[in-house]
Amino acid sequence: MLADEKRARAVENDERNRVALRESERVAALQTAHAAQQQGNLNAFTKEKSLRAVADAARRTADDQLRYVISAFTAGGGAASGGDAAACRVQRDRSERLGGLLSEALDLASEGERVIRQRDAEVIFLKTLVINDRALLAGRTP
């Protein structure tokens, strides 16, 4: 009788161990899938960040060209046809100041766009991380 009880306990223990092993394997598979998904998310974010940097550099080049055009346009305002010399200087100074303000506005607008694009990409990246983490906690793969 004692031997039967010991044998029954051993069978129970073996079954518990098999169940625990299957559960550990299932959790390990979920963790592996989760880690792979997170790495994929990070790689995609890094690639997008690099592409944004290239686009920002191209945008800066275009902005510099526009700044040059504005500067050239506003700098030529001093050659008036025979008017009062003081009035011509005032007009030229106003044009130069206007060019400076336009250039500054262009800088601010470009920087604002860059910050917004970066923030949008970061929000999307963080959202994918949260979705992936929630899937792991729910015991499924994303």
Q: Is 53 inside a domain boundary?
A: yes
- Average pLDDT on 26-49 reads 92
Q: Is 82 inside a domain boundary?
A: yes
**13: pLDDT strictly greater than 70:** yes
Interval 73-92: pLDDT, tens: 777 654 555 567 777 777 77
Contact between 88 and 78 (Cβ < 8 Å): yes
Question: What would the two tokens of residue 135 be?
Answer: 């899937």
Distance (Å, whole) CA 127 – CA 45: 12
Q: Is 70 inside a domain boundary?
A: yes
Distance (Å, whole) CA 109 – CA 81: 36
pTM of structure:
0.63
Give pLDDT, residue 96: 81
Q: For the chain, how far is it from start to end, CA to CA, in angstroms?
A: 51
Domain count, the chain: 1
Q: Is 142 inside a domain boundary?
A: no
- Average pLDDT on 112-132 reads 94
Give pLDDT, residue 73: 74
**In which domain, by residue range, is 89 found?**
2-137
For tokens 């923030």, name the residue: 119
Give pLDDT, residue 83: 63
